[in-house]
Amino acid sequence: MDRVRPSFALAVLLFLPASLAAQRAGKLAWDARTAEHLWNRAGFGAPPSEIERAVALGREAFVAELLAGPSEVEEPFYPRADRSELRERMRELTPEERKREVGRMRDDEEATLRDYLAWWVERMVRGEDPLLECMTLFWHGHFTSSMSDVKNAREMIAQNRLFRRHALGSFRELLHAIARDAAMLEYLDNDVNRRESPNENFARELMELFTLGEGNYSEQDVKEAARAFTGWRHEDGEFRVVRRAHDDGEKTVLGRTGRLDGDDVLELLLEQEACPRFLAGKLLFHFEGAEPEAERLERYARLLRANDYAIRPFLEALFLDPEFYRPEVLGTRITAPLDFLVGTTRRLGIDPPPRSLVFGAGVLGQKLFFPPNVKGWESGEAWITTASLMQRGNLAGFLLGEVSLRDFLDEETSGLEDSGPPAQAMAGEAGMEGGTGAGEDAALPRKRRSEGFGELRSLERLGWRPRFHLSERLRRAGVSGDEGVVDALAGMLLGGDLEPDTRRSLVRYLGEERAKAGVSGTDWLDDSNGSEPILRRLAHLILSLPEGQLD
Amino acid sequence: MRDSPWNRTLDRRSFVVGLGCLGTGLRGPRVLLERGARTSEGAQRSLVVLQLSGGNDGLSTVVPYADDAYHAARPTLRLGVEDGLRLDDYRAFHSALERLHQRFQEGKLAVVEGVGYPHPNRSHFKSMEIWHTADPRGRAAGDGWIGRTCAAAFGADVEPHRLVHVGPNAPYSVHSSEHPAATFSVPEAYRWLQEGQELARIEAGEREAGAGSSLAFLRERMRDVRDSSASIRAAVARYRTPVEYPRGAFGESLRIAAALLAGEVGTRVVSLELGGFDTHNDQRNRHEACLRTLDEGLGAFLDDLERSEAGRAALVLVFSEFGRRVDENGSRGTDHGCAGPAFLAGASVLGGVYGEHPSLVDLGEGDLVHTTDFRSVYATAIEATFPVEHSTVLGARFPLLACAAALKRR
C-alpha cells in the first residue's frame, strides 16, 4: 500500500482495504474515499457527515442527486436603474452635483459587486446545489469577461446568471447566449465591431478559446467570422443587431460560403470535429486534473455530440466512470484557491464571512469577476507560487482562528530579528545618504498603498472567530493516541491523503507539543484547555503542508 | 532544433540585420560597453526583464513620424513630431516618454528596432509562449528562456531567490524546473504566520514522493519558500532610497526590484510586468496612460540603480510579447500584430538606435516584418549578464546586438 489513508470515522477505516482491492481488480468501490473524491471535484469538498450520507445513498443515487439541479435559485438582488435613466438625470445636474453622483454610482457598483460575490461564495459554502456552482465557476473561467474591462457590475452579474442558468444545460444554447451577452460584447470589443472596420477580437477568442482550440482554424477564418458578428451590440444590456453596421455580404468560414451571420458561424463551429473534442478535453481536465488519454477523449467527445452538447449527460457518464476514480486522479489535483478555502470551510463546518473567502481567493490568484486574461485561470501547478503557497497556510490559519487578519496588516519586521537591523534603525543612514530624508518618506506610505489593504481592514473590524471544538469532536469519534489524532485530523481536513513520512513528522510534532505544554495521559483530549490549542495548531500545520493543497 | 526551417529563416534574417547594422551607419556597433560575470567595480551582474503585457503598439512608442505610410495607416491614432520627442530624422518617442528620452539623449538607453520572430502566430497566448520560451513550440519546448538561462549559468547550484518575479503571476519566461522563481507582490506578506513557521519541523524527505507528481512539486516549492522569505523581506524592509517612485503597483514592484539588487541577497534575475497594453479600442488615451506609467516608473528605477554598485551592474531589458497591426481598426484601436521595439538600459549599455525600423509598406499579412530576431536581444542579455554561451540556452547562435568587438573579447 503506497499511501496511508487517515480517517476520521472508524467506519471509514473499515471501508478502506476493500476500496483499494476493488480498484486493483478494475471494479469501482463506492466508499468514503471515492465519495469524498466526487464531493471534492463536483462540490467543493464536504464534511464527514455528508460523505457518510453519500456512501449510504449509493453511487447512482448520489450522482443523480448531484445532477438533479438546477434548483430554483432565489437571488436576493433586483435589477437596478438602467443607464439611460441615469444619463437623463445627469444632464440636469451642475458639475459638482454630477461629480458627487458619479462617485455615488461608483460606490454603488462596488457594493453591488461585493454583495453578489459574497452571495455566490456563500452558495458554494452552503452546498445547496454544489455542482451548479462548480459549473457556474467553470463557465466563468471558460467564457471569461473581466470587471476591469467591462466596468459594469450589472452586466457582469447578468453574465454570471446566464452561466448559472445554463450551467448543466446545453453548450449550444449557452454559446448562442454568450455571443449576445452584454459583458462579453464589451469585453471582447464586439460592441465596436463594424462593417467598415471589423474588430477581430471576439471572433479570434471564440475559435481559439471558446470552441475549437488553436490550430483548428485559419487566420482567414478569423477575419471572415469577425465580419459575421459586425453590428452585434447591446443597448443598456439588451442585445440588438445594428443593421447598418452589419456586413451581410458573402463570407467563407471553415470552408462554408454564404451570407453568414453570427449564429451561422456559431453553428458552423459546433459542427466542427474539433469543437466537442476541445470542450470534452477541457471538462475532463477540469474534473480530473490530468490530461485524458486520446481514446477516452474521443469517447467523451462523441458523447457530447451524441447528446447535442448537453452537459448533464456528459457529467453523469463521467461521475459513473470507474476511470474518474483511478488512483492517479484521487487526491492528486492541486486545488484551486476556492476549492481550498471553500473546501476547508465546509470540512470544518465553520461560517467565515463570505467576503473573507472572496478576498482570500483573490490573494491566492483567483479573483472572481477579474480573471487574469481571456484564457481564464490557469490551473494545476500555476496556482502555486512561493507567495501563494505561504498565503494558503496563512489563510487556513485565519479560518482556524489561529491567524488574525491583523497579522496580515502588520508589515513590520517580525520574524526578521536575525536578518539585520529593523527598518527604523536605518532611517538615519538614509538621511545621510539622500541628504533630505526623502527615502524615509518614500518608504512609509508604501504600507497604505498595498493592494487590498482597505478590504482587509474592513474585514478585520468584523472581528470574526470560528466556532468549533476539535478535542470534543475527536473525543466523540473515539479517537485516541497521537497517531489516531493525526489520522483523524488529517482525514477531516484534507481532501486527499497524507504521505507516510509527513504523517510520522506530524506524530512527532504532536508528541513534542504535548510534552512542552505538559499535556499527557491517555485521556489528554478530555482536558480541552490543554488539548484544544495544540489541536488547532496541528490543524493549521496540516493545512499548510503540501498535502493540504491537494484534493 | 538548429535545422528547423524556423531557425534557418531566422538565421538568415538575423545575419542581414547584423550587416545592416554595420552598413547603414546606425549608432553602433557596440550596444554593451563591457560584460563578464562581474563589473569592473566588482559587483555581480544581474538582469531585470520588464514585460509590457498585452502587446505594446510599437508605432506609437517609437513613432516613425517622417514616414508617410505611417500617417496613412493611422488616420486617428497617428502622432506627429510635435507630439513626440525626437530621436532622429525618422523617429521620435511618444511624448509621454520624457524621462526615457532624456536617458536616450544622455546615451544611456538603447532602442532596438523591429524585434520579432518569423511566421508570427497571432494567438495572443501562443505568441506569448513563443516569446517566453524563445521556441516556436512554445511551452511544449520545456522551461522558459530565463529559467533555461539560470540552468545554464548555475547548474545544480540552486538558490531560492536567485530568480524573482515581483507581481501576482510569474510569466512563463521565468518558469524553470530547476530554478523556480520566488514570486510575490507584497514582500511584507511574504511570510508564514503562527504555526506555518513550524513547517520547518515537518521535514519530509525520508522518502521522496514520486518524481513529477504534484506532491513532489509542492514539496519542492515548500523548501523554496522556507529558504527565501526571510531574506527577501529583510532586504526590502531595510532598503532606503531618496528616489521617489510613482504611486501604484508598478512603481512599488520597481522599488522592490531595486531593493533586492541593492540588498545583494543573491538575486540575479528580476522579472517585472506592466499590463494594460492590449489596446483594441480608445488606444490614444489608454496607450498614453500606459507609457506615462512606464516612463515615470522606469525613469525612477534607472536613477535608483545608478546609486549603487549592484544597481550599476544591472541590465534592464524592456519588451512586449507581441506587437500590433499597422492599420488601426475601426474602434480607434489596433489589433494584435507583430514586431516592435525593445529597450536596453543600464550602466553597461551604450545608447542609440539598433537595427532597422521595419518597412511600413512591405508588410506580411498587414503586419510589420521583424528586422531583429528577438533571440538576438535575448542572446545579448544572456551574454551581457552571465558567463554563458547563448546557444546553450537558445539552441542556436544569433548575432549579438553588439555586432562585433566587445562581446567577442572573452
pLDDT of B212 over the 80 cut: no
Instruction: Write down the pLDDT at residue B31.
Output: 57
Q: How far apart are CA A539 and CA B339, in angstroms?
A: 53
Instruction: Could you list the beta-strand ranges (E) of B295-382.
Output: 314-320, 323-324, 336-337, 340-345, 352-354, 372-373
pLDDT (tens digit per residue) in B288-315 = 999 999 999 999 999 999 999 999 999 9
* Residue A423 C-alpha, separation from nearest chain B C-alpha, in angstroms: 5
pLDDT of A104 over the 50 cut: yes
Q: How far apart are CA A140 and CA B113, in angstroms?
A: 39
A435 touches chain B (CB under 8 A): yes
Q: How far apart are CA B379 and CA B401, in angstroms?
A: 8
Instruction: Write down the pLDDT at residue A14.
Output: 41
Q: Which helix (H) or strand (E) holds B236?
A: helix B214-238
pLDDT of A15 over the 50 cut: no
* Residue B291 C-alpha, separation from nearest chain A C-alpha, in angstroms: 19
- Band of pLDDT at residue B19, cut at 50, 70 and 90: very low
Query: B97, B61 in Cβ contact below 8 A?
Result: yes
A385 touches chain B (CB under 8 A): yes
pLDDT of A544 over the 60 cut: yes
* Residue B407 C-alpha, separation from nearest chain A C-alpha, in angstroms: 35
Of B361, B362, B317, B363, give the one whose Cα is nearest residue B341: B317
Instruction: Write down the pLDDT at residue B231.
Output: 82
For residues B336 and A300, which has the higher predicted lDDT (pLDDT)? A300
A546 touches chain B (CB under 8 A): yes
A352 touches chain B (CB under 8 A): no
Which of A41-45, A494-498, B161-165 shows the highest mean pLDDT?
A: A41-45
Chain B residues with CB under 8 Å of A387 CB are 182-185, 189-190
> Mutate which of A232, A386, A416 to disrupt the B interface (most B C-beta within 10 Å)?
A386
Calculate the alpha carbon distances from A52 to A44, A56, A222, A477, B119 in Å: 16, 6, 51, 14, 57
> Mutate which of B53, B240, B367 to disrupt the A interface (most A C-beta within 10 Å)?
B240
Mean pLDDT of B161-180: 87
pLDDT (tens digit per residue) in A212-229 = 999 999 999 999 999 999
Q: Which residue of B has its CA nearest to A334?
A: B214
Instruction: Write down the pLDDT at residue A409.
Output: 54
| Radius of gyration (C-alpha) of chain B in whole angstroms | 21
pLDDT of A400 over the 90 cut: yes
Q: Hey, which residues 470-499 in chain A have their CB within 8 Å of chain B?
A: 499
Mean pLDDT of A154-164: 94
Task: Please name the member of B123, B199, B280 whose beta carbon is closest to the beta carbon of A199.
Answer: B280
If one counts the domains in chain B, the total is 1
Which residues sit opposite B320 in a β-bridge?
B52
Chain A and chain B share a number of CB contacts under 8 A equal to: 239
Please indicate whether, in this complex, the C-beta atoms of B184 and A197 are within 8 angstroms of each other. Answer: no
Instruction: Write down the pLDDT at residue A76.
Output: 74
Residue B243 Cα to chain centre, angstroms: 23
> Mutate which of B177, B208, B215 to disrupt the A interface (most A C-beta within 10 Å)?
B215
Map out the domains of chain A as residue ranges. Answer: 331-551
Of A107, A89, A12, give the one whose Cα is nearest residue A50: A12
Query: B123, A208 in Cβ contact below 8 A?
Result: yes
Cell of A43: 462540490
Query: B327, B73 in Cβ contact below 8 A?
Result: yes
Instruction: Write down the pLDDT at residue A351.
Output: 93
Q: Hey, which residues 211-240 in chain A have their CB within 8 Å of chain B?
A: 214, 219, 222
Mean pLDDT score of chain A, rounded to an integer?
84
- Band of pLDDT at residue A27, cut at 50, 70 and 90: low
Instruction: Write down the pLDDT at residue B40.
Output: 65
Q: How far apart are CA B148 and CA B44, in angstroms?
A: 19
> Mutate which of A193, A384, A385 to disrupt the B interface (most B C-beta within 10 Å)?
A385
- Band of pLDDT at residue B168, cut at 50, 70 and 90: confident
Q: How far apart are CA A519 and CA A523, in angstroms?
A: 10
Q: How far apart are CA B215 and CA A541, in angstroms?
A: 16
Task: Please name the member of A214, A372, A540 whose beta carbon is closest to the beta carbon of B126.
Answer: A214
Look at residue B392 and tell me if it is in a domain: no
Which of A318-327, A357-366, B11-20 shows the highest mean pLDDT?
A: A318-327
Chain A residues with CB under 8 Å of B182 CB are 386-387
Burial of B410 (0-12, 13-18, 19+ CB in 10 A): exposed
Angle at B148 (CA atoms; ends B147, B152), nearest 5 degrees:
120
Look at residue B47 and tell me if it is in a domain: yes
Task: Please name the member of B194, B229, B255 whose beta carbon is closest to the beta carbon of A402.
Answer: B194
User: How crowded is residue A243: how many other Cβ atoms within 10 Å of its Cβ?
Assistant: 9
Q: Which residue of B has its CA nearest to A205?
A: B123
Instruction: Write down the pLDDT at residue B255.
Output: 95
Chain A residues with CB under 8 Å of B124 CB are 373-374
Residue A421 Cα to chain centre, angstroms: 41
Cell of B295: 516612463
Query: A176, A143 in Cβ contact below 8 A?
Result: no
Query: B313, B41 in Cβ contact below 8 A?
Result: yes
Instruction: Write down the pLDDT at residue A79.
Output: 58
**Full domain range(s) for residue B184:** 40-340
Residue A513 Cα to chain centre, angstroms: 35
Please indicate whether, in this complex, the C-beta atoms of B207 and A500 are within 8 angstroms of each other. Answer: yes
- Band of pLDDT at residue B139, cut at 50, 70 and 90: confident
Instruction: Write down the pLDDT at residue A377.
Output: 93
Query: A63, A320 in Cβ contact below 8 A?
Result: yes
User: How crowded is residue B131: how many other Cβ atoms within 10 Å of its Cβ?
Assistant: 25
User: How crowded is residue A50: how many other Cβ atoms within 10 Å of its Cβ?
Assistant: 19
pLDDT of A140 over the 80 cut: yes
Q: Which residue of A has its CA nearest to B174?
A: A385
Which residues sit opposite A310 in a β-bridge?
A170
pLDDT (tens digit per residue) in B362-387 = 888 888 899 999 999 999 999 888 98
Look at residue B334 and tell me if it is in a domain: yes
Please indicate whether, in this complex, the C-beta atoms of A394 and B196 are within 8 angstroms of each other. Answer: yes
| Radius of gyration (C-alpha) of chain A in whole angstroms | 27
Query: A285, A145 in Cβ contact below 8 A?
Result: no
Look at residue B266 and tell me if it is in a domain: yes
For residues A110 and B290, which has the higher predicted lDDT (pLDDT)? B290
Look up residue A468 and give its amino acid: F
Instruction: Write down the pLDDT at residue A109.
Output: 83
Query: B113, B355 in Cβ contact below 8 A?
Result: yes
> Mutate which of B193, B198, B247, B365 to disrupt the A interface (most A C-beta within 10 Å)?
B193
A533 touches chain B (CB under 8 A): no
Share of chain B above pLDDT 70, in %: 83
Instruction: Write down the pLDDT at residue A534.
Output: 94
Q: How far apart are CA B339 and CA B363, in angstroms?
A: 11
Instruction: Write down the pLDDT at residue A120.
Output: 96
Query: B157, A499 in Cβ contact below 8 A?
Result: no
A199 touches chain B (CB under 8 A): yes
A393 touches chain B (CB under 8 A): yes
Q: Hey, which residues 84-143 in chain A have their CB within 8 Å of chain B?
A: none
Chain A residues with CB under 8 Å of B331 CB are 189, 192-193, 197, 199
Q: Which residue of A has its CA nearest to B245?
A: A442
DSSP B184: E
pLDDT of A3 over the 80 cut: no
Strand B109-116 and strand B314-320: pairing? unpaired
Instruction: Write down the pLDDT at residue B189.
Output: 66
Mean pLDDT of A26-54: 92
Calculate the alpha carbon distances from A5 to A19, A181, A497, A508, A539 in Å: 11, 46, 6, 18, 17
Mean pLDDT of A307-334: 96
* Residue A338 C-alpha, separation from nearest chain B C-alpha, in angstroms: 17
Cell of A262: 453570427
Q: How far apart are CA A320 and CA A362, in angstroms?
A: 33
Share of chain A above pLDDT 70, in %: 84
Look at residue B20 and tell me if it is in a domain: no
Look at residue B350 and tell me if it is in a domain: no
Please indicate whether, in this complex, the C-beta atoms of A419 and B331 are within 8 angstroms of each other. Answer: no
